[in-house]
Structure 1
């Protein structure tokens, strides 16, 4: 396999924990230089300590146009040829009719507006260079019902639509744009979601988790390391463009 990652500079948003941390470490392990982006410098510095010297830390709220512009200027001397838009929030757990407009707007600001702003800021340089890779982290929840999680599901479907259309705008310039849709990922975020779901439905968190995981063919959640491996694999597929890759352990709607 021709190495398509070693020596390149990869920017990962939401890199301070969870999937972002795993993806950043996974890319560093195969030789990429990392720019870790997130809102908490302490968390980013902790991940940087795990990676070593070949990385840069940059604090930024990717939903904020001014901050994204400042980030672009801060790293103007870096040749960012890989951008992983991972930053996202889960949003409220409630029936649609009970969702506050502020909560709805926050989910779309972080999960969709942030992807838009980061692509707008960093893809023009890739176009000028004639190459680049964008991976937008969506979710299997954008492709199937997720009761009481409408803002999140709708925002992730928006990311998938943004990805497909943007790929056709910049693909002819050598920039590959794809989305990765993980299913439920084992970890604190899902544990919190199960607790919220349980509180809303009168079940135990264990019952909520069992019902959720039971929708997958493998009857389990995927892991953070599996998501990181998928990002690396996608970057090694030069013909992959305008695609949405499902990494869900066979999650289906029921």
Structure 2
């Protein structure tokens, strides 16, 4: 998908939260391929440095916990001289795998602090400059799990539905100023996070790892999970779709939300 000319990213600067690994790194690669400069943020400075070094001189990094207002304000101050015209809110945590009645309030709050509060704080910090310029793009990474039942994952599912609701409402607020806001909802993405979830689910249910994985994969029309690179390419494809605003896009290998 990368490399299209309908809306070239050359000369634009993107800010990607949770950019030190996984989906954030894949999104960063795709943005770089399409010509953007990228600032990646996250809590793990070592991971950020390694990713920036691996991806090349088009990437810089800043340490930031998106759930902390002071951190986000400091991030905005440190980037005051940059014209951030693309914001990808990717930072998120999976949270506990347990029945709701066994989830501690602190665990619930931690998921919402990162997955929802983080999106709010980042948008609050970086949208004003976009609306003043009359241009900009925000993509929030949600999940198909926000739109269908996923047993023993209530904090995560509820937080991702909240991101979708935030997206559609915010699009109406800032669209008239020329800023687009959309969300991308991946299905299960192959990688360490899903491997962790499959292990926890297998332990919880007394099933095998393979059975826990198959319970996810069997719901997909393509019979597989999506890849990190496919998610990265979907972000840049969405940025080329100039009429896209207030939308939530499924990328689930056919795991249609019901």
Per the shorter chain, which TM-score range? over 0.9
Match of 1:246 among 227, 244, 250: 250
Partner of 2:35: 31
Q: Distance in 1 between matches of 2:128 and 2:38?
A: 19
Measured after TM superposition, the shift of residue 250 of structure 1 is 1.1
In 2, are the aligned partners of 1:14 and 1:20 still within 8 Å (CA)? Answer: yes
Structure 2 Cα separation of the partners of residues 17 and 102 of structure 1: 25
Q: How many equivalent pairs are there?
A: 254
Which residue of 235, 239, 242 maps to 1:235? 239
Moved >4 Å (runs of 4+): none
Does structure 1 residue 45 correspond to structure 2 residue 49? yes
Task: Identify the residue that residue 185 of structure 1 maps to in structure 2.
Answer: 189
Residue equivalent to 2:211: 207
1:88 aligns with 92
Shift of the alpha carbon at 1:89? 0.2
Q: Which residue of 2 aligns with 1:121?
A: 125
**What CA RMSD, in Å, does the superposition of the two structures yield over aligned residues?**
0.9
Shift of residue 198, structure 1, vs aligned partner = 0.3
1:144–1:252: 8 Å Cα contact kept in structure 2? no
Deviations 1:176-230 (A, max 9, x none): 0000000000011100000000000000111100111101111110000000000
Q: Report how far residue 253 of structure 1 moved.
A: 5.7
Correspondence for 2:23 among 19, 24, 27: 19
Following the alignment from structure 2 to structure 1, what is the Cα–Cα distance between the partners of residues 41 and 188? 23
Q: Partners of 1:137 and 1:166 in 2: how far apart? A: 14
Residue 150 of structure 2 corresponds to residue 146 of structure 1: yes
Hey, what does 1:166 align to over in structure 2? 170
8 Å CA contact 2:144, 2:257 repeated in 1: no
TM-superposed CA distance for 1:112, in Å, is: 0.1
- TM-score normalized by the length of structure 1: 0.98
Counterpart selection for 2:69 from 50, 62, 65? 65
Q: Distance in 2 between matches of 1:7 and 1:55?
A: 13
Give 1:54 shift. 1.9
Q: Distance in 2 between matches of 1:3 and 1:162?
A: 25
- How far, CA to CA, are the matches of 2:256 and 2:105 in structure 1? 29
Cα pair 1:215 1:253 within 8 Å, conserved? no
**C-alpha deviation, 1:2, in angstroms:** 2.5
1:9 and 2:10 matched: no
**For residues 145-193 of structure 1, what are the alpha-carbon distances to aligned partners after superposition, in whole Å with 9 as ceiling and x for unaligned?**
0000000000000000000000000001000000000000001110000
The TM-score, its normalising length taken from structure 2, stands at 0.97
In the alignment, structure 1 residue 55 sits paired with structure 2 residue 65: no
Q: Measure the CA separation in 1 of the matches of 2:10 and 2:219.
A: 37
Unaligned 5+ runs, structure 1: none
In structure 1, how many angstroms separate the alpha carbons of the residues matched to 2:174 and 2:159?
22
Per-residue CA distance 1:27-52 (angstroms, 9 max, x = gap):
01111011010011111111111221
